Structure 1
Amino acid sequence: MACAAEHRDQPSATPPPAGNPLTSKLLHFAPLSNSDRQHLDRLAAPEERFPASVDIIAEGMVPRSVFLLKEGMAMRYRNMPDGGRQIMTFLIPGDLCDMHVFLLKEMDHSIGTITPVRVAPISRESLMDLFASRPRISAALWWSSMQEEAMLRERIVSLGRRDARGRVAYLLCELLWRHRAVGLTNGEVFRLPLTQTELGDTLGLTPVHINRVLKEFRQRSLISMDRRMMSLLNVEELQALAGFNKDYLHLGGTSPEVTRYFDGLEANLKR
């Protein structure tokens, strides 16, 4: 019986879809055991709800916990002295906002909701326990943090070097791949509850310019939009317009060498 239990706890080569969006995301970065998945489910069980267009935590506040986004869409942003706003990134189910807040004496940016959201608060103690006792989850969170940094680098490239068409195409492609990673797409269709103002505040463009680009994309049969559902009709051409390569999202999964490393690491921890 002991051997059978050990076998059940091993990560499978092709894990089934996870109901917990954080688990779905982290499975792209490290092979998680059944015990790891159950632990993540317990972390995600508590729930708080926020309506649309409010701050979950505002710039200048002292962070009380890490929040796991379970449902809805939020954004990481900064308000500017002139009344403008810069959106750094969008948060979708499975994202943490954000993992390193405990290092901050106060928030240097805000996390705001775009739609009504459900979040799970994760305490400092629970997060530190993950790093101390769950090597697979710890590594997956590390890779997830690397993905966030890569996304910010790509945003800098986009704002500095892509034209308006390239910026919009890049963001649509990134959102498609991120939604797909947590099982929130139907083919090339995903929910996009963003206004043209929010897109403009992300890409450094005016709402009028965003409207012009989206209209052109529809006329060229690159996209269609119906009731906040975005459909990318020609992903290849959109990626070509943006010079987009999804490799920066690190969604390729783990190699057999990495899996064997974690097997050995966990064996040492049990001794």
Structure 2
Amino acid sequence: MATTRATHEAKTPCKKCPLRGLPHFREFAADELEFVEVFKTGELAIDAGSTILVEGSHSAHLFTVLTGWGFRYKMLEDGRRQILNYVLPGDLIGLQGTVMGEMQHSVEALSPITLCVFERNKLMTLYNKHASLAFDLTWIAAREERILDEHLLSIGRRSALERAAYLLAYLYQRASALKLFNGRSFLPITQQHIADTLGLSIVHTNKTLKKLASRGFIRWQERGCDVLDGQALAGLAEWEGLGEGKRPFI
């Protein structure tokens, strides 16, 4: 399970949430913000590589990513891993376990990550009294389905080179919208993460990334890569991009 440090005493007030200042997210109405401040019970700081939620587990909480990167995944009994998607600031974690009773996948921290913590037993109050926030949860779930559709298309029909280009373009666009880059477009993922996302061997992944690097699209680093031309990556994958305006978060 996760190596966590409770930071309830250093709780970020929702009114001063750093995500609210990003044009990527819609603004809260006054009553919505007041409810979310009560809904939130604290924060958790989690170390990179720690497991946040485990498949089959029950949790009394759900979480919003405040800072950092993570990923959702499933494991086979022999240890083979399939990464399903990546979670970034503003993404909700644990809704599946809240609604269905237990998690159908696991979640791991890719970098040091801070989570806003919400009590599961207050979720019905959100549905009963805040229809706009309830719609936001529906929107978030529908968006995740749309992203997984694109990931499935990539694994099923794109070539290895196109798959890698799509994944890096997708992460690049998401991180850009959240203003996560500081002077360089660095994605903190290893070649093993890419292999486990694309369903390729590590050897095939390495050869594929070298081809992208030779075209000047990326520059591979020890524990991640610099995206040099995100538009060219999207073009190679024939991917039209995220194509979303302002999005909600809880």
TM-score (norm: length of structure 1) = 0.75
| Stretch of structure 1 that moved more, 137-146 or 56-65 | 137-146
Who wins on radius of gyration, i.e. which is larger? 1
* Corresponding pairs, count: 233
2:110–2:189 contact (8 Å) kept in structure 1: yes
Per-residue CA shift, 1:121-158, capped at 9, x if unaligned? Answer: 21123433333333333333322221111111011100
**Which residue identity does 2:218 align to in structure 1?**
I
Identity of aligned residues (%): 33
2:190–2:224 contact (8 Å) kept in structure 1: no
Partner SS state of residue 55, structure 2: coil
Identify the match of residue 241 of structure 1 among 236, 239, 242.
Answer: 236
Structure 1 residue 40: Cα displacement = 4.2
CA distance in 2, matches of 1:66, 1:156: 26
**Which residue identity does 2:45 align to in structure 1?**
R
Structure 1 residue 60: Cα displacement = 1.8
CA distance in 2, matches of 1:43, 1:21: 18
CA distance in 2, matches of 1:40, 1:227: 40
Does residue 91 of structure 1 match 2:87?
yes
Aligned to 2:5: none
Q: Which runs of 5+ in 2 are unaligned?
A: 1-14
Structure 1 residue 48: Cα displacement = 1.2
Structure 1 residue 91: Cα displacement = 1.1
TM-score (norm: length of structure 2) = 0.80
Q: Which runs of 5+ in 1 are unaligned?
A: 1-17, 255-271
**Which residue identity does 1:77 align to in structure 2?**
Y
Does residue 33 of structure 1 match 2:29?
yes
Larger strand share, 1 or 2: 2
**Which residue identity does 1:20 align to in structure 2?**
C
Aligned to 1:218: 213
Identify the match of residue 106 of structure 1 among 96, 102, 106.
Answer: 102
Aligned to 2:3: none
Q: 1:69-80 residue pairs with structure 2 within 5 A?
A: 69-80=65-76
Structure 1 residue 44: Cα displacement = 5.4
CA RMSD of aligned residues (A): 2.8
Does residue 198 of structure 1 match 2:211?
no
Q: 1:33-182 residue pairs with structure 2 within 5 A?
A: 33-37=29-33, 39-40=35-36, 46-182=42-178
Partner SS state of residue 32, structure 2: helix
CA distance in 1, matches of 2:223, 2:41: 28
CA distance in 1, matches of 2:232, 2:194: 20
Aligned to 1:4: none
**Which residue identity does 1:192 align to in structure 2?**
L
Partner SS state of residue 127, structure 2: helix
Partner SS state of residue 100, structure 1: helix
* Cα pair distance change 1:29/1:127, threshold 3 Å: farther
Structure 1 residue 94: Cα displacement = 1.4
Identify the match of residue 251 of structure 1 among 241, 244, 247.
Answer: 244
CA distance in 2, matches of 1:80, 1:222: 33
Aligned to 1:263: none
**Which residue identity does 1:161 align to in structure 2?**
R
**Which residue identity does 2:76 align to in structure 1?**
M
| Stretch of structure 1 that moved more, 216-225 or 44-53 | 44-53
**Which residue identity does 1:156 align to in structure 2?**
L
Identify the match of residue 20 of structure 1 among 2, 17, 21.
Answer: 17
* Cα pair distance change 1:68/1:102, threshold 3 Å: same
